[in-house]
Amino acid sequence: MDGPLCIVNSGEAAKSWTSLSSILEFLLKHHADQQSVLVVVGGGALSDVGGLAASLFKRGIRWVSVPTTLLAMVDAAWGGKTAINFGGVKNSVGVYHWPVHWIYDQAMLQSLNERQRFDGWAEILKHAIIGDSGLFQEIQAFWSSQHEKGQVPIGLLPLPTQDLIECALQVKIRIVQQDPNERNLRCLLNYGHTLAHALESSSPHYSHGQAVWLGMLFELQLASHSNLIAEDEALRILEILRAFAPYSGLLRHSTELIDIPTNDTPRGRGAIQTLSPMTGLFTNLPDWKTIWNFMLQDKKTRSGKLTWALPAKVGLGQTGVQIPNDKVMDLYKIWSSNPLI
């Protein structure tokens, strides 16, 4: 790649005024102009801050996204959202600024550690749950095949296949093309993210994927307790989310096995086995007051009331759901004591 290089922090540390300023200073130093193209190579956080820098410099220059993590490939680097964190609140300053090209190579994923793999899988699961029942079934089949090979639940979290990555990405592309500025349908992609962003804002110890995974668990319970999803559909979603629990980096050690049924195998009859998550989390989740203060900063909040994106059934989500705040509070207090039930 020809041209000067600008190196900034990775991870959430990149989404700061400091990183944004360093990229803008880099562009000025190297005499970039409105015909210049900024090529952003890295994970989702770098895509956010790099895209924002491109949107601001000279009132907007072109940029190219080259995602190098699973999370960025299936979600963060595609969709035009750019942002930094401000005032302790995640993604509170940003604009829509679409890359002109999007380039990825799955070979880059081989170097990812377990946490980075889990982060990407969380977004793949989200896309399947709210947007593609076929993808959901393919994930179940993939997980079953990995178990048969003896690769789960022991060892490094397997990477998804090229087909799974492309199917997950197509869910986001389809939704974003219909609602590029998130007026309604695109809000589906926020499933799990209302709680997730509050968790990330409250503590630096949660990765994005960990927070989204926890957010999907809680928001599934919210849908179930509000009678917005049938019990059997909620159970299917809960079981696949729990199947990934041993790889979350959040659990205490356990050697107990539980069954995760597939479409073809009812509970207890050849179902996928995975380590039991019932031992709970390493650390306590934030208290309600902390979480609520950050939730009030969520972009979907209207006059102090949250609107939720929740699953209606496998492969279908619902947006604009309002649930009384006291009901959310009561459920969170119960759920946070044992998120994996």
pLDDT above 70 covers a percentage of the chain that reads 88
Instruction: Say what the pLDDT of residue 303 is.
Output: 74
CA-CA distance, 63 to 82, in Å (whole number)? 12
Asked if 100 and 63 count as a contact pair (C-beta separation under 8 A), the reply is yes
- Picking from 1-5, 21-25, 34-38, 283-287, which range would have the lowest pLDDT averaged per residue? 1-5
Residue 46 CB partners (closer than 8 Å, separation 6+): 8, 10, 14, 40
CA-CA distance, 30 to 133, in Å (whole number)? 48
Neighbouring C-beta atoms of residue 235, cutoff 10 Å: 14
Cis peptide, bond prior to residue 153, ω within 30 of zero: yes
Instruction: Say what the pLDDT of residue 153 is.
Output: 57
Q: Dihedrals φ, ψ of 38, to 5°? A: -95, 120
Instruction: Say what the pLDDT of residue 270 is.
Output: 39
Q: Tell me the three state secondary structure of residue 248.
A: coil
Q: Supply 223's token pair.
A: 């849908």
Q: Tell me the three state secondary structure of residue 230.
A: coil
User: How much is the mean pLDDT over the chain?
Assistant: 88
Instruction: Say what the pLDDT of residue 260 is.
Output: 44
The counts of H helices and E strands in the chain are: 11, 9
Dump the DSSP string for 156-209: SPPPPPHHHHHHHHHHHHHHHHH-TT-SSGGGGGGTTHHHHHHHHHH-TT--HH
Instruction: Say what the pLDDT of residue 304 is.
Output: 73
Instruction: Say what the pLDDT of residue 159 is.
Output: 95
Instruction: Say what the pLDDT of residue 328 is.
Output: 96
Residue 87 CB partners (closer than 8 Å, separation 6+): none
Q: What angle do CA 238, 146, 130 make, to 5 degrees?
A: 35
**Closest residue by Cα to residue 127 from 188, 45, 217, 215:** 188
CA-CA distance, 60 to 64, in Å (whole number)? 13
Instruction: Say what the pLDDT of residue 283 is.
Output: 66
Domains and CATH numbers, the chain: 11-107 (3.40.50.1970), 113-335 (1.20.1090.10)
Instruction: Say what the pLDDT of residue 300 is.
Output: 75
**Closest residue by Cα to residue 120 from 16, 110, 205, 9:** 110
Any idea of the CA torsion for 119, 144, 131, 201, to the nearest 10 degrees?
Answer: -20
Ranges 1-5, 26-30, 177-181, 273-277, most confident: 26-30
SS3 content of the chain, % helix, strand, coil (to 5): 50, 15, 35
Instruction: Say what the pLDDT of residue 92 is.
Output: 92
Whole-model pTM: value is 0.88
Asked if 272 and 242 count as a contact pair (C-beta separation under 8 A), the reply is no
**Closest residue by Cα to residue 139 from 150, 155, 154, 123:** 123
Instruction: Say what the pLDDT of residue 151 is.
Output: 60
- For the chain, the farthest-separated pair of C-alpha atoms sits apart, in whole angstroms, at 66
Q: Average pLDDT of 155-165?
A: 91
Whether pLDDT at 142 is above 60: yes
pLDDT digits (tens, 9 = 90+) for 244-290: 998 998 886 544 444 444 454 443 333 444 444 445 666 689 999 99
Instruction: Say what the pLDDT of residue 14 is.
Output: 94
Q: Which residue has the higher pLDDT, 51 or 296?
A: 51
Instruction: Say what the pLDDT of residue 146 is.
Output: 80
Q: Average pLDDT of 9-15?
A: 90
Whether pLDDT at 132 is above 70: yes
**Closest residue by Cα to residue 68 from 8, 2, 10, 5:** 10
Asked if 335 and 221 count as a contact pair (C-beta separation under 8 A), the reply is yes
- Picking from 109-113, 190-194, 277-281, which range would have the lowest pLDDT averaged per residue? 277-281
Instruction: Say what the pLDDT of residue 238 is.
Output: 96
Q: Tell me the three state secondary structure of residue 283.
A: coil
pLDDT digits (tens, 9 = 90+) for 56-84: 999 999 999 999 999 999 998 888 999 99
